[in-house]
Amino acid sequence: MKAIAARRHHRFAPVVLLALALVLTGGLYAALAPSAEGAAAPTTDDVEAGRALFVANCATCHGVNAEGRDGNPTLIGVGAASVDFQVSTGRMPMQLEGPQAAAKPPQFDREEIDQLAAYVASLGPGPAVPSAEQVDPALGDPANGGAIFRTNCAMCHGAIGAGGALSEGKYAPALAQSTPTEIYTAMLTGPQSMPVFNDANITPEEKRDVIAYLEEQKNGSPGGTSLGSIGPVGEGIWIWVVGMGLLIASAVWIGAKSS
């Protein structure tokens, strides 16, 4: 102890302390944070906790027993997958009325989302949250996923999922920030204006291929900056702003003060 005290003014002391603090925090987080494997099958307690959360946060619109009211849909039979998608992307609880619920930072943590999902799943049979293996992009075939995406998804989400407009202010969101699980549950449950792609329509393996294709897009464009992947309109803006802008500036420079 004395040896340590003697070196407390050493110039590396702050660095060592910082490193120790970081290791401690990281270690505690790793030990205490709920892992995916740790989230075992929901218990009765989870369902009860989920019901309490539901009554406090969702019942105003969806009804005390999730039966739906005033044009808001019933949640009986939508399954855990739907709750997981809507709540973990922050779409529910809805912030304000609009053409469609916008994604925002989620209001609940992972445990609460699982509890809510367990409660809604207990109301009636519905699609479950996929397993980690089901959504693992490494197991999918991006080429097949690309073909499926072009045929089924690109007409709303754009060629590589940059998003697109729908009628009356609705839109298909960009998919760059979506996690594999969100992509899977979205296909499975068809949130907002999206149609349902059930397992007969696009098999679970094909869904994984789509996930692999979309994950591939996160590697960036081989041609340089992607310019938002919004197609020729973006390119047109850039040729006018950068191309013509630089060249007219050069022309002004070349033609400056000559006669």
Partner 1 sequence: MSTVNRAAGGTADYLDQRTGVGLAVKSFARKIFPDHWSFLLGEIALYSFVVLLISGVFLTMFFVPSMTLVTYDGPFAAMNGVEMSEAFASTLALSFEVTGGLLMRQIHHWAALLFMASIVTHMMRVFFTGAFRKPREINWLVGFVLMILGLAAGFSGYSLPDDVLSGNGLRITDGVVKSIPVVGSYMSYMIFGGEFPGEHIIPRLFTLHILVIPGLILALIGLHLFLVVLHKHTQYPGPGRTDRNVVGYPLFPVYVAKAGGFFFIVFGVIALMAGTMTINPVWNYGPYDPSPVGAGAQPDWYMLFLEGALRLMPGTGTEWVIAGYTLSLNVLIPAVIVPGLLFTALALYPFIEAWASGDKREHHVLDRPRNAPVRTASGVAILTAFFVLLVAGANDLVATHFALSLNDLSRLFRVLFFVAPVIAFVVTKRICLGLQRKDRELVLHGHETGRIVRFANGEYVEVHKPLDQYERWLRVNYDAHRPLELLPAEDERGVRRKGYRRDALRARVSRFFYEDRVEPVTPAELAAAQSHGEHDALGGAEHGDPTLLQAAANIKPEHGGNPAGEVVAGPRTPRH
Which residues participate in the annotated binding site?
Answer: 58, 61-62, 153, 156-157
Restricted to residues 150-169, the positions that interact with partner 1 (CB under 8 A) are 150-151, 154-160, 162-169
**Residue 258 sits in the site that holds partner 1 (CB under 8 A):** yes
Measured distance CA(179)–CA(20) in Å, rounded: 33
Q: Contact region for partner 1 (CB under 8 A) — 29-37, 104-112, 136-144, 188-196? A: 136-144
Euclidean distance between CA atoms 176 and 249, whole angstroms: 36
139 binds partner 1 (CB under 8 A): no
* Site membership for partner 1, residue 176 (CB under 8 A): no
Shortest Cβ 220–partner 1 spacing (Å): 9
**Contact set for partner 1, span 197-236 (CB under 8 A):** 213, 216, 221-227, 229-233, 235-236
113 closest CA partner among 179, 60, 39, 184: 39
Residue 169: how many other CB atoms lie within 10 Å:
9
Whose Cβ is closer to partner 1: residue 13's or residue 249's? 249
CA distance 206 to 235: 32
Spatial contact of 129 and 221, defined as CB atoms under 8 Å apart = no
CB 114 within 8 A of CB 34: no
C-beta separation of 62 from 74 below 8 A: yes
Cβ closer to partner 1: 26 or 195?
195
Residues of the shown chain interacting with partner 1 in the complex, contacts defined by CB under 8 A: 99, 142-147, 150-151, 154-160, 162-169, 171-172, 213, 216, 221-227, 229-233, 235-240, 242-244, 246-248, 250-256, 258-259
